[in-house]
Chain A
């Protein structure tokens, strides 16, 4: 006879979370999860962080996950709690962030009855998650929790929802220990040796190679970034990062070309366009990277390493597909390269670098800052100063962003030397991501400097989290590049829609200094270039959370830019450069 059950489902749930190493849960209570909150109240091993909106709970867990490499955990109630979390889940799905999100549900006997706060959470979140579960039997509860953590963190990481009917967490349930294997989900991590050998042969013969590395390298752990660096240095190949991959290769290294893609550097995009061998690692050839597909790097042979087989040959046909963990594949490539005595075309490589240096001379990120007293602050300059001042302080710095021009300028002008220091919403482009993500980062790294580089529009999408910062004394710094416009949208309107600024002016803005103060934080403002440094220093010195409202040039556009539907060699450069680019085609107008 089975041993008598002594623990409630809620207690079993917490025990399973603890066994999975969960230390922090971001959540928000409600009727369906009351028993779980009651169990939380009666234990000390898991810390609960009360957010102010469930979307923010997921973003906070994402920030926690991305800055630590661990799985983030979320707890929300049924119905509106679950639906509020959906944006965060899709964000984590698009950017491959491991999250386990527990959602309350009405008791099993009421499911399907349109009960109060009932939503078909597994139905709604099916396309929003990597996988989801509805627990219908107490004996499944612990196993499902263990499975969920396994699925979230193995293979290509992603969010997993566990829907928990109220009776399941109230009634007694048995405990089962974590198992290491999943019955059906066993992603391949070891690269195929023959494919690696082919890749090494192709790479050694390359005349115009490029390494194109994305967020998958960061997801594969810091060792993968170290191996990437070693591989690039061993081969002497130029390397570019996607938005998600920034930090996987030290930005200060001379072989680094900067970010590629829609707002990438001139040299990175032209290297992609003109290369003869491309090594893509943990990157997925999305439309922000490729520009017009039929013009994308036509002359190259491509090697693609990805842990998700469905990312390979999805948008771009490749010559050597390798399904594997990025770190393991890089280790194999490095070993193969070192063991090979196939000749390397040194003169061709040297010529390629000379060409790259010519492209670099364009200085595609350059801008001119008026340094006179009262000069209008260029947003790029504000980020550059933030970077220089924080670097001089030698403190660990983590940057999150909202979405818009400020995000792209941050990617261009804040240089990352190490992985896991840069958190941004890449795939979904979720305004409102940065502040809650910064909360999660700060919780995981209490002594680090955590800065949300924000726009004045985006920050209002989760501004309520100022309350969470105050409650937990999280000294997050919010650095608003305030251009009084939804700048990125305004830029498209200027370039594509005859400067008709339909609904993109940030009207009726709050006084951000007073807003900070009313949330028990510190507010400060820089109106002109002569005030900037002092405000940055004051912000960094301040022991509390800060909103620094930086008034920047309202008309500034983010360049370089590959317009939708254009090819890499049809990039638009900024006003600092002579007229360039082919402009936007009609087909491009229809793209986002």
Chain B
């Protein structure tokens, strides 16, 4: 585990369980903007049956000291129940969903479809001149797919940001 004084930058995936109340997302985002922390990705949705708790997943980056500080700052927000650093606490899975629109010529269509198949992307909308691919996976996989589509008529991208869980029996 890197020491607190380590000055190298690292990426961290942090999951936060919060009361699903008005303003809670503003509190979290305000904390990041007010204190100058990065947000590389952020997702939020209710995660229990009653809709009382939400899970916020944040991908951020900074030195160990900054990331520890982010966790401590999140932890002291009143509606926050749990803060977990999935990157530090053990192996985890992180996935995001992307919708990728490609507007292309006939020759490009074949190639785009082929690449889509090899990435296990689903075609969720088709017209004579366009596709919308749906793709889930790790952030790097989605980045790679989008990169390949750039030469094949990439028109628009919508990404969910990551959802993440610890591997194995661990829960936060």
Contacts and interface: CB of A to CB of B under 8 A. Distances in A.
A182 B69 CA distance: 24
Interface string A305-328: 000111011100100000000000
Contact of B73 (A123, A134, A184, A310): A310
B120 interface: no
Interface in B52-111: 65, 68-69, 72-73, 75-81
Please classify how large the interface on chain A is, using the bins under 10, 10 to 19, 20 to 34, 35 or more.
20 to 34
Interface stretch (A124-132, A352-360, A534-542): A124-132
B65 A313 contact: yes
A187 B80 CA distance: 12
Contact of B76 (A122, A123, A136, A155): A155
Given A313-B65, A317-B4, A123 B75 contact: no
B5 interface: yes
B78 A185 contact: yes
A510 interface: no
A309 B76 contact: yes
Nearest to A187: B76
Given A126-B27, A127-B30, A317-B65, A134 B22 contact: yes
Given A122-B23, A126-B26, A131 B78 contact: yes
Point out which of B73, B78, B79, B81 has the most chain A C-beta atoms below 10 A from its C-beta: B78
Interface string A100-142: 0000000000000000000000110011001110101000000
Contact of B79 (A130, A184, A313): A184
Contacts of A183: 19
Nearest to A184: B81
B75 A310 contact: yes
A130 B5 CA distance: 28
Please classify how large the interface on chain B is, using the bins under 10, 10 to 19, 20 to 34, 35 or more.
20 to 34
A317 B5 contact: yes
Given A130-B78, A185-B78, A314 B19 contact: no
B38 to A, nearest CB: 17
Given A127-B34, A317-B4, A317-B65, A309 B78 contact: no
B76 A310 contact: yes
Given A126-B27, A127-B34, A310-B69, A184 B75 contact: no
Contacts of A126: 23, 26-27, 30
Given A127-B30, A313-B69, A308 B76 contact: yes
Interface string B16-35: 00010011001100100010
Contact of B69 (A122, A136, A314): A314
Nearest to B27: A126
A562 to B, nearest CB: 24
A314 B30 CA distance: 18
A571 B81 CA distance: 45
Contacts of A127: 30, 34
B172 to A, nearest CB: 14
A130 B22 CA distance: 16
Contacts of B78: 130-131, 151, 182, 184-185
Contacts of B81: 184
Point out which of B19, B68, B79 has the most chain A C-beta atoms below 10 A from its C-beta: B68
Contacts of B19: 183-184
Nearest to A323: B72
Contacts of B26: 123, 126
Nearest to B26: A126
Contacts, number: 49
Contacts of B79: 184
Contacts of A156: 76
A317 B6 CA distance: 10
B6 to A, nearest CB: 10
Contacts of A187: 76
B76 A184 contact: no
Contacts of A134: 22-23
A491 B26 CA distance: 41
Contacts of B76: 155-156, 187, 308-310
A385 B21 CA distance: 55
A488 to B, nearest CB: 27
Contacts of B22: 134, 136
Contacts of A310: 69, 72-73, 75-76
Interface string A171-203: 000000000001111010000000000000000
Nearest to A136: B22
Nearest to B82: A184
Nearest to A147: B78
A278 to B, nearest CB: 16
B22 to A, nearest CB: 7
B60 to A, nearest CB: 15
Contacts of B34: 127
A184 B5 contact: no
Nearest to A130: B78
Contacts of A312: 72
Point out which of B26, B69, B76, B80 has the most chain A C-beta atoms below 10 A from its C-beta: B76
Nearest to B33: A127
Nearest to B23: A122
A126 B5 CA distance: 31
Nearest to B4: A317
Contacts of B68: 313
Contacts of A136: 22
Contacts of B5: 317
Interface in A422-443: none
A317 to B, nearest CB: 5
A578 B87 CA distance: 55
A156 B77 CA distance: 11
A505 to B, nearest CB: 35
B84 to A, nearest CB: 15
Contacts of B65: 313-314, 317
A485 B132 CA distance: 69
Contacts of A122: 23
Nearest to A132: B23
A127 B31 CA distance: 8
Contacts of B30: 126-127
Interface in A312-364: 312-314, 317
A318 to B, nearest CB: 8
A308 B27 CA distance: 18
A122 B80 CA distance: 18
A309 B72 contact: yes
Nearest to A309: B72
A112 to B, nearest CB: 12
Contacts of B73: 310
A156 B78 CA distance: 12
6 contacts: A126-B26, A127-B30, A131-B77, A136-B22, A184-B19, A314-B65
The 5 closest A-B pairs by CB, nearest first: A310-B72, A131-B78, A309-B72, A317-B5, A185-B78
Given A127-B30, A134-B22, A136-B22, 4 more contacts: A310-B73, A312-B72, A313-B68, A317-B65
